[in-house]
Amino acid sequence: MSDLNFTDQTFKSEVLESSEPVIVDFWAPWCGPCRIVSPIIDELAAEYAGKIKVGKLNVDENPQTSGQYGIMSIPSIVFFKNGQPIRTMIGAQSKENYKKEIEEILGN
């Protein structure tokens, strides 16, 4: 399970300065599709532990970061590498779609 919860205060150190790629799930508790995606993100966090960092950012509680990255629709899954957003997937997607992106980022 993804126990990492990013905040406006921890985003720079946890995501932008991370030595490994990071997946950020921008979500909100009231969002139905977010609740569908959440268990998939948790499974990916377990499967790719040690290879990629996976965490969540509640857009209601962290408006600065979500605004900085132009998050207008949730769930938005943003892939970061070397401190830069390199891919965004908007809306609920299949686990296979997320895995495909992760494998590309990891170079597998």
Q: What angle do CA 34, 37, 13 make, to 5 degrees?
A: 80
Catalytic sites, residue numbers: 31, 34
Longest dimension (CA), the chain: 35
Sequence-ordered list of residues with C-beta below 8 angstroms from that of 20, at least 6 positions apart, any chain:
51, 52, 53
